[in-house]
Amino acid sequence: MAAERKTKLSKNLLRMKFMQRGLDSETKKQLEEEEKKIISEEHWYLDLPELKEKESFIIEEQSFLLCEDLLYGRMSFRGFNPEVEKLMLQMNAKHKAEEVEDETVELDVSDEEMARRYETLVGTIGKKFARKRDHASYEEDENGDIKPIKTKKMFLKPQD
Amino acid sequence: MAGPVSVAAEYLAGSRARAARTVLGQVVLPGEELLLPEQEDAEGPGGAGERPLSLNAGARSRVRVVCGPGLRRCGDRLLVTKCGRLRHKEPGSGSGGGVYWVDSQQKRYVPVKGDHVIGIVTAKSGDIFKVDVGGSEPASLSYLSFEGATKRNRPNVQVGDLIYGQFVVANKDMEPEMVCIDSCGRANGMGVIGQDGLLFKVTLGLIRKLLAPDCEIIQEVGKLYPLEIVFGMNGRIWVKAKTIQQTLILANILEACEHMTSDQRKQIFSRLAES
């Protein structure tokens, strides 16, 4: 009876996963290839020569935004709608900023002077908010520059 | 028999294809073919000798050209589909080639992606509004495409309201969709346009002329009295001023300025400034 049943197993049944677990890897590969062959033969394809898609250097656009620089559509004049006036400045400035990227902003105060001012500013404001004990760290030098802050003495744990 | 016919056809085709560079600013008619600058070099006489030497002599470097409204790609050439003047814009930076387009005039608007338009809400069905933008079909606007709109916090939009929004989907195969929000989620002036005011229709070319960066008309109008204007690329303009009379004057000026010369315009403005 068992021998009869063995021979009657259909191909589809044999192709199922649980039946293939016992097979070797080689036989598995063969079965897969056969399946692929069957699928590819049934696949329809166009019997045409391979057409290379020509790389087109012309892009089609139907929008006027690329062509002409248009201003923002909402406008308000003489303070009729202050929010819209703010928006106008924003949107048109954004638009102009994109065009003029190379121009650097002219500085009124040079970078070096700014750095010097900030250096002293930090000390003077810091002095204002420092407590009495911290005033020691804000002692001024002969030149009027603030001395570098000394490291605080922490409690040293005895090693024994 | 076939000989002279084919020769005639070739002659016609050859004579119609002109170089785009030479036609800039001139009137072009639909059906004309335009040659781009690269093809000009190839088809001119004595190519190799006159062309400047390029680094890679084998592969001719081609520049990307954008063909804008009124033009279509036809093989390697540009085919004109609308009558008007041919314009060209040089590329500012980066990718080269520039943009060619035809400056034409029409009253009928065709939705284009990215355009800011004024629409009128015609229907409210479920989660979307149907907005009439002047195209072949009404655009759909979801209630979530407003700034700060959530499922619970619905925007206050009624049938008959005016909406200023932009298209996110606009092609000939699908229904156009618009939103009142930009890609970051901010409104940027889009949304429901306020109360009162007057909406009227003009040609599309006039809108572009008025929105040009150096438009004198807008500058002069702005000096008259406090007012607010919204321009929609679909040919609709909404104006509002303090009194109805001022609003009507403004509407009349904007409608009429299309056909006036600059002298006539200045006369009218000076008369208005006096009164």
How do residues B206-220 score in pLDDT, each as one tens digit? 999 999 988 889 989
Q: Where are the domains of chain B?
A: 18-39+63-103, 115-192, 198-274
Query: Which among B99, B116, B240 has CB closest to A73?
Result: B116
**What whole-number distance in Å separates Cα of residue B117 and Cα of residue B110?**
11
Q: Does B96 touch chain A (CB under 8 A)?
A: no
**Mean pLDDT across the stretch B114-120?**
95
**What whole-number distance in Å separates Cα of residue B183 and Cα of residue B177?**
15
Query: Which among B99, B221, B232 has CB closest to A66?
Result: B99
- B81 CB-contact burial (10 Å; exposed 0-12 / middle 13-18 / buried 19+): middle
Q: Is A71 in contact with B212 (Cβ distance < 8 A)? A: yes
What three-state secondary structure class fits B165? strand
pLDDT of residue A60: 86
Which residue of chain B is at minimal alpha-carbon distance from A96?
A: B213
pLDDT of residue A18: 80
pLDDT of residue A97: 72
**Mean pLDDT across the stretch B232-241?**
95
pLDDT top residue among B48 and B231: B231
pLDDT of residue A5: 54
CA distances from residue B5 to A47, A62, B14, B33, B240 in whole angstroms, order as listed: 35, 37, 14, 20, 63
Residues 24-83 in B contacting A (C-alpha not used; CB under 8 Å) = 36, 62-69, 71-73, 76, 78
Tell me whether domains B18-39+63-103 and B115-192 share a fold.
yes
Is the pLDDT at B24 greater than 80? The verdict is yes
**What whole-number distance in Å separates Cα of residue B105 and Cα of residue B84?**
7
Q: What is the CA radius of gyration of chain A?
A: 41
Cα–Cα–Cα angle for B165, B140, B251, rounded to 5 degrees: 45
Q: Chain A: nearest CA to B89, how far in angstroms?
A: 7
The DSSP 8-state label assigned to residue B173 in this structure reads T
> Do residues B220 and B262 touch, judged by C-beta distance below 8 A?
no
Q: Chain B: nearest CA to A48, how far in angstroms?
A: 21
> Do residues B236 and B200 touch, judged by C-beta distance below 8 A?
yes
pLDDT of residue B148: 87
In total, the C-beta contacts within 8 angstroms joining chain A to chain B are: 119
Centroid of chain to Cα B204: 7
Q: DSSP letter string over B205-266? A: HHHHHHTSTT-HHHHHHHTTS-EEEEE-TTSEEEEEESSHHHHHHHHHHHHHGGG--HHHHH
Fold entry, domain B198-274? Ribosomal Protein S8; Chain: A, domain 1 (3.30.1370)
Fold entry, domain B115-192? OB fold (Dihydrolipoamide Acetyltransferase, E2P) (2.40.50)
> Do residues B86 and B35 touch, judged by C-beta distance below 8 A?
no
CATH 1.20.1260.10 fits B18-39+63-103, yes or no: no
pLDDT of residue B29: 93
Measured on CA atoms in the order B75, B205, B107, A95, is the torsion positive or negative? positive
Q: Is A73 in contact with B188 (Cβ distance < 8 A)? A: no
Tokens of A119: 């250096």
Q: Is B68 in contact with A72 (Cβ distance < 8 A)? A: no
| Average pLDDT over all residues of chain B | 84
Q: Is B233 in contact with A64 (Cβ distance < 8 A)? A: yes
Q: Is A58 in contact with B99 (Cβ distance < 8 A)? A: no
User: Could you identify the residue written with the tokens 């590969």?
Assistant: A29
Q: In percent, how much of chain B has pLDDT > 90?
A: 50
Q: Is B228 in contact with A81 (Cβ distance < 8 A)? A: yes
What three-state secondary structure class fits A31? helix
pLDDT of residue A78: 92
Task: Band the pLDDT of B205: cuts 50, 70, 90.
Answer: very high
Q: Is A67 in contact with B68 (Cβ distance < 8 A)? A: yes
Tokens of A110: 């040079």
Query: Which among A57, A70, A72 has CB closest to B212?
Result: A70
pLDDT top residue among A38 and B82: B82
pLDDT of residue B234: 94
pLDDT top residue among A141 and B134: B134
User: Using a CB-CB distance cutoff of 8 angstroms, which residues of chain B are in contact with residue A80?
Assistant: 226-228, 240-242
- A57 CB-contact burial (10 Å; exposed 0-12 / middle 13-18 / buried 19+): middle
Is the pLDDT at B74 greater than 90? The verdict is no
Kind of pairing between the strands at B177-179 and B139-142? parallel
**What whole-number distance in Å separates Cα of residue A118 and Cα of residue B165?**
47
Q: Chain B: nearest CA to A55, how far in angstroms?
A: 10
Residues 95-154 in A contacting B (C-alpha not used; CB under 8 Å) = 99, 101
Residue by residue, pLDDT tens for chain A (160 residues) are: 555 556 788 888 877 878 777 777 788 888 888 888 877 777 787 777 777 766 677 888 888 888 888 899 999 999 999 999 999 998 888 777 765 654 455 566 778 888 888 888 877 787 787 777 776 666 655 555 555 566 778 888 888 7
Is the pLDDT at B93 greater than 90? The verdict is no
pLDDT of residue B97: 67
Q: What is the dihedral of CA A45, A48, A52, A58, to 10 degrees?
A: -90
Q: What is the CA radius of gyration of chain B?
A: 24
What three-state secondary structure class fits A38? helix
Task: Band the pLDDT of B134: cuts 50, 70, 90.
Answer: very high
**Mean pLDDT across the stretch B177-200?**
91
